[in-house]
Chain A
Amino acid sequence: GAVVSQHPSWVICKSGTSVKIECRSLDFQATTMFWYRQFPKQSLMLMATSNEGSKATYEQGVEKDKFLINHASLTLSTLTVTSAHPEDSSFYICSARKPLAVPGTDTQYFGPGTRLTVL
């Protein structure tokens, strides 16, 4: 299998502060990683696609200046929630795409998630 880690697993911060979440692929290189947000009892909503060495692609309605994404290496992507507010409180999950031998058969592996609570 493949392992994707996230750090921190949970964070509590004051309103107005910034929070950085790291997503690492531990045993494979991932040119593409994805960031999702999941509110309680809801589905995973894709926020952005993170590409190593280039700008992230954001989904409609997601503020790129508020959710900064950096994919500086093939094993690390970071999501920074800037000027966090209580409505940003959510479960943030990353996934990393592991290329397989057969083109078009890549599989996504999810990180354990980060629970953000903004007071």
Chain B
Amino acid sequence: GENVEQHPSTLSVQEGDSAVIKCTYSDSASNYFPWYKQELGKRPQLIIDIRSNVGEKKDQRIAVTLNKTAKHFSLHITETQPEDSAVYFCAASDSGGYQKVTFGTGTKLQVIP
């Protein structure tokens, strides 16, 4: 099955700086890569996603890049704000009929005011 690794596990940045989270996946058949933000005790919220036919996608301060050859993808948050503090999960979805999503191990991001 799919295996998704995520780094770093914790990340502290000063407000206004950029944050980068990196993930690798194992199944070359995976074709959908969502990123989720989860606040304590809450549900994961989809913040951005990318499909395998695209190399980069941007939405305001958030961008995601995908390297299919190397099987890794990254989340970039620019001009970080305290409200960006949360746990971020990358995920990969297989191309099978159910489109199961496998989550990475998570990154706890702390933005220091």
Contacts and interface: CB of A to CB of B under 8 A. Distances in A.
B98 A57 contact: yes
B39 to A, nearest CB: 11
A19 interface: no
A94 B89 CA distance: 16
B103 interface: yes
Interface stretch (A67-75, A80-88, A106-114): A106-114
A41 to B, nearest CB: 8
Size category, A interface: 20 to 34
B100 A46 contact: yes
Interface string B92-112: 000100111111111000000
A111 B43 contact: yes
Interface in A20-56: 32, 34, 42-46, 49, 51
Given A93-B43, A110-B44, A111-B43, A46 B105 contact: no
Given A42-B105, A44-B103, A104-B31, 19 more contacts: A32-B98, A43-B89, A43-B103, A43-B104, A43-B106, A46-B100, A46-B102, A46-B103, A57-B98, A93-B43, A104-B95, A104-B99, A105-B51, A107-B46, A108-B46, A110-B44, A112-B42, A113-B41, A113-B42
30 contacts: A42-B105, A42-B106, A43-B103, A43-B104, A43-B105, A44-B89, A44-B103, A45-B103, A46-B102, A46-B103, A51-B98, A57-B98, A60-B1, A91-B41, A93-B43, A97-B99, A104-B31, A104-B32, A104-B99, A105-B51, A106-B99, A107-B46, A108-B101, A109-B46, A110-B45, A112-B42, A112-B43, A113-B41, A113-B42, A113-B43
